[in-house]
Structure 1
Amino acid sequence: MNKKRLPPKQYIRTRVGFIFQFGESTRIYNLTGPQDDAEAEWDCSPTEMKLRKHKKELEAKLRAAAAQEMIEDEKRDAKGEDEEDGCGWGMNYGEDAKTFTAPEHDAHLMEDREAYYNQDPKKALQKFFEREGFDMNFEFSEQGQGHTHKWVCSIEWVFG
């Protein structure tokens, strides 16, 4: 139904406009009937729906982070830690060292990166080597055609 395989022995509601294909047949059947039984049309495209969903998830994360920050501020206010505004340079050497935290990976940023890599993989690889401060020692070639098209990158590892 609608280009998806149905699970066996399970009731699935069908509506007007659904498309069926039985077994391995190449014939496609369209269910017709009264318009009041048709599924409601979407007010936006699937891409817009994904963007809306992502925006809602991001807003929820921001709200949760803001709430957590407010709770931490209230705890600090209750303890009276904010009164420690004096100069403390070099006084607590061990506490000044901050640990490195890895940046969080958002799904949309990863999708943007993947699109960037697919669009121009050679340029993406050059930017990576420049950003990491390494000399660019690699060979880049294309293999195959059409559906079997591949990019092959041979990186020369230099110690030192």
Structure 2
Amino acid sequence: PSPAPCPAAAPRYEEPPWGSRPPAAAGYGLEVLKGGVALGSVRLEGGSWFLVGRLPGCAVALEHPSVSRHHAVLQYRGAGGSPDGDGAAGFYVYDLGSTHGTFLNKARVPPRTYCRVRVGHGLRFGGSSRLFLLQGPKEDQESESELTVTQLKALRKQQQAKLEKRMLGEDSDEEDEKEERSERSQNSDMTCSWGMGEDAEEDEVEENPIAIDFQDVQDAFYMKDPRKALQGFFDREGEELEYEYDDRGHNSWLCRIKLPVDDASGKQLVAEVLHSGKKKEAMIQCALEACRLLDARGVLRQEAVSRKRKSKNWEDEDFYDSDDDTFLDRTGAVEKKRLNRMKKAGKIEEKPETYDSLVTKLKEAENELSEITEKLKASGKGKA
């Protein structure tokens, strides 16, 4: 797969392994509208992904000041292009962390997350009034559902709650059985009123029922508690979750998380966030970014499977990481990490401190101090 012609300054975008060129016969393109008037069209061909931005070399170039130089990417996913088989073939929009956002069917997409775009869906970038409608084959259009808007909203909430419970480890067999019985009863009675009378009027739709696929991404389970979701992923993988911090001054923190997943070049994937504010806020934002990276690669929602990176045998490394440097460490953070790893491996038995144990430790420290003092005196006399 190769990208469409891009500007000299390449964007910070790494094409996923499932990317591929759209079929030439599909005739994918973008129809450009402004104020309901058609201004033209942009053909999506000659590459597997297409850059949207303010630079003139972008496949979709916009001059509006609210549009970033590298704003978003339209990425095509081929049939069978994903190793895990998940994800439908078609176009996905990927916001490159733009300041003013990307909007799919009037709803803002989360940054650095692949969101499905079907034929007929509308895209807006930043504050630009131009609307881009995806054109293409009929089979890529959103399938019409027999359910009402209210039923679609209730079904999506039910699916999202089930996903949260399963991924956050709060699901149980008993709850699954209850949900299955509920689903069977709903399927057997297609005239279910969903709590509404036949003469009741539905409320005005607040969200676009067409964008169910996107809403599932926007309301992803990890948005509510990214730290818990990320910890659950690390626990399933048998890896240790560690947050690394760099104080950049002026109340700014750089938070970093090394993920147990390799990128396309074989290097370890790292989530980094520079945040102005509290240290805890930087940690939450970094956990959210890590969840987005993992979810974009289709591994966050999976059960524990073998990854490219093998789990380390900490005992062979004396419980040190290969990147740890005790000589340069002046805060004791390296030794603290080593002790934590030893505790998790059961090499150190933790016992609660008592008065007697503290007195014993105090005596040992005093004896050690007196021995060192005597040695210093002896060495001083020897030099004299």
Fold equivalence (TM over 0.5): no
Of Structure 1 and Structure 2, the greater helix share is in: 1
Q: Structure 1-normalised TM-score?
A: 0.30
Of Structure 1 and Structure 2, the greater strand share is in: 2
